[in-house]
């Protein structure tokens, strides 16, 4: 059977980041800078991605602008015909660096916002001065005509400011804003009880988003992501396991999603040891949950199976104790009621004692 290539390559250039977001989805054990792939290795990954028919590359992290070879890699990606997107907190960018990235062919930037004011931003990211820098960065991006998406990460602490974040994104000239509730992986899972919004907050946020969509039709697109825990059905995690995205970690391990290494019995190849196309097609971890045959039996016979692709295997492991269980955020899971009860209970704890992600620049 021929496996179609993924749409997009996610290059996690580094796990280093000056911020310490309490919701960070990076793994708890961050990969060390000393073992990151070098420039030549990343260039080979880009060559292989283009050759196998991948269309887009997302430069991600950690904070990808920590890497001094980012301009080189963006330029190389553009030269082999890949659409280039930078996912960044923005706090290390200045106008000269943005000029250099634009000159090398960068096409789109996703700029992360923790809140719509300095205090809220600092509280959740453990980083002072970030908000003010992001505002400047958005201005520089707009001046240079780069397409901007604002990624606003929502928790119960800023849920009430969803409308203000949408207005801020519109003022900054974003073409798109993502009002994205935290997905509970990595540090986010560890801090879940201190982050989870209440159901009432979610209802209010949903109404605010709907009203803004009406108001801003034709001006700015609003994507809205609710926490799976309050949903009846899961999202199509990564568009389906090993279906739309391939993720390469800072040290070169190739994954179907950034959290896949939490599943202990899967073995992942390194892009230095085996071609990307071969890993995508043949690696057993990619094959194990790919497509309808890789789903739990309940999903295989469900009329939603090609909409959510059975949800998230990592979430099934984290919440139901087995990666091949039905994702417990689905109402057809035997664990669904328990998950909703956990969310409701944790949302009421009033906890603000974040365990901050470790800061790392070295
Ligand atoms: S700490 Fe924050 S800015 Fe840094 S990688 Fe994690 S979520 Fe992104
Ligand atoms: S049973 Fe599986 S495919 Fe059906 S809605 Fe639930 S998670 Fe999705």
Distance (Å) from CA 130 to ligand 2 centroid: 40
Atom 5, ligand 1: which residue's CA is nearest? 62
Strand order in the sheet with 108-113: 221-225, 176-181, 147-154, 108-113, 83-88, 56-60, 8-12, 245-248, 254-255
> In a structure prediction context, what are the per-residue pLDDT tens digits for the chain, which is 362 residues long?
589 999 999 999 999 999 999 999 999 999 999 999 999 999 999 999 999 999 999 999 999 999 999 999 999 999 999 999 999 999 999 999 999 999 999 999 999 999 999 999 999 999 999 999 999 999 999 999 999 999 999 999 999 999 999 999 999 999 999 999 999 999 999 999 999 999 999 999 999 999 999 999 999 999 999 988 999 999 999 999 999 999 999 999 999 999 999 999 999 999 999 999 999 999 999 999 999 999 999 999 999 999 999 999 999 999 999 999 999 999 999 999 999 999 999 999 988 889 999 877 76
Ligand 1 contact, 63 CB (< 6 A): yes
Atom 7, ligand 1: which residue's CA is nearest? 24
Q: Which ligand is nearest to the CA of 153?
A: 1
Strand bridging mode 147-154 / 254-255: unpaired
Exposure of 22 in the CB half-sphere (CA atoms within 13 A): 22
Q: Which ligand is nearest to the CA of 356?
A: 1
Q: What residue ranges in the chain does DSSP mark as E strands?
A: 8-12, 56-60, 83-88, 108-113, 147-154, 176-181, 221-225, 245-248, 254-255
Q: Is the Cβ–Cβ distance between 160 and 117 less than 8 Å?
A: no
Distance (Å) from CA 357 to ligand 2 centroid: 33
Mutate to test the pocket of ligand 2, among 298, 303, 333 (most ligand atoms within 8 A of CB): 298
Ligand 2 contact, 233 CB (< 6 A): yes
Distance (Å) from CA 142 to ligand 2 centroid: 41
Tell whether pTM > 0.85. yes
Ligand 1 contact, 87 CB (< 6 A): no
Total length of the chain: 362
Mutate to test the pocket of ligand 2, among 326, 334, 339 (most ligand atoms within 8 A of CB): 326
Distance (Å) from CA 169 to ligand 1 centroid: 19
Residue 242 gets the label, from left (phi > 0), alpha (psi -120 to 50) or beta, of left
Give pLDDT, residue 271.
Answer: 98
Ligand 2 contact, 298 CB (< 6 A): yes
pLDDT tens digits for 151-210? Answer: 999 999 999 999 999 999 999 999 999 999 999 999 999 999 999 999 999 999 999 999
Ligand 1 contact, 62 CB (< 6 A): yes
Return the residue matching tokens 């040290």.
Answer: 251
Distance (Å) from CA 297 to ligand 2 centroid: 10
Give pLDDT, residue 228.
Answer: 87
């Amino acid at each position: 059977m021929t496996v179609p290539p993924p749409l997009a390559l996610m290059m996690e250039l580094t796990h280093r980041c000056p911020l310490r977001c309490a919701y960070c989805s990076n793994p708890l054990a961050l990969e060390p800078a000393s073992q990151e792939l070098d420039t030549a290795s990343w260039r080979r990954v880009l060559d292989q991605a283009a050759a196998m028919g991948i269309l887009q590359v997302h430069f991600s992290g950690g904070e990808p602008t920590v890497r001094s070879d980012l301009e080189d890699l963006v330029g190389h990606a553009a030269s082999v015909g890949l659409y280039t997107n930078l996912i960044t907190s923005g706090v290390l960018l200045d106008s000269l660096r943005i000029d250099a990235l634009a000159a090398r062919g960068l096409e789109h930037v996703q700029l992360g916002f923790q809140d719509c004011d300095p205090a809220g931003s600092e509280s959740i990211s453990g980083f002072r001065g970030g908000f003010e820098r992001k505002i400047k960065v958005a201005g520089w991006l707009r001046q240079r005509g780069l397409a901007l998406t604002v990624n606003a990460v929502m928790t119960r602490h800023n849920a009430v400011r969803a409308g203000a974040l949408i207005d801020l994104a519109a003022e900054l000239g974003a073409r798109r804003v993502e009002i994205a509730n935290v997905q509970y992986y990595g540090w986010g899972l560890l801090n879940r009880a201190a982050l989870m919004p209440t159901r009432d907050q979610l209802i209010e946020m949903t109404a605010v988003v709907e009203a803004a969509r009406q108001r801003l039709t034709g001006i700015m697109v609003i994507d809205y992501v609710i926490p799976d825990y309050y949903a009846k059905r899961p999202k199509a995690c990564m568009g389906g396991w090993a279906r739309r995205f391939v993720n390469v970690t800072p040290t070169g391990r190739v994954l179907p999603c950034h959290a896949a290494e939490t599943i202990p019995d899967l073995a992942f190849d390194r892009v230095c040891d085996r071609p990307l196309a071969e890993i995508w097609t043949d690696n057993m971890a990619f094959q194990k949950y790919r497509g309808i045959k890789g789903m739990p039996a309940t999903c295989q016979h469900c009329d939603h199976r090609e909409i959510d692709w059975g949800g998230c295997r990592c979430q099934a492991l984290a919440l139901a104790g087995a990666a091949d269980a039905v994702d417990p955020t689905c109402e057809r899971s035997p664990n669904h009621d328990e998950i909703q009860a956990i969310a409701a209970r944790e949302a009421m704890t009033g906890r603000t004692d974040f365990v901050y992600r470790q800061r790392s620049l070295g």
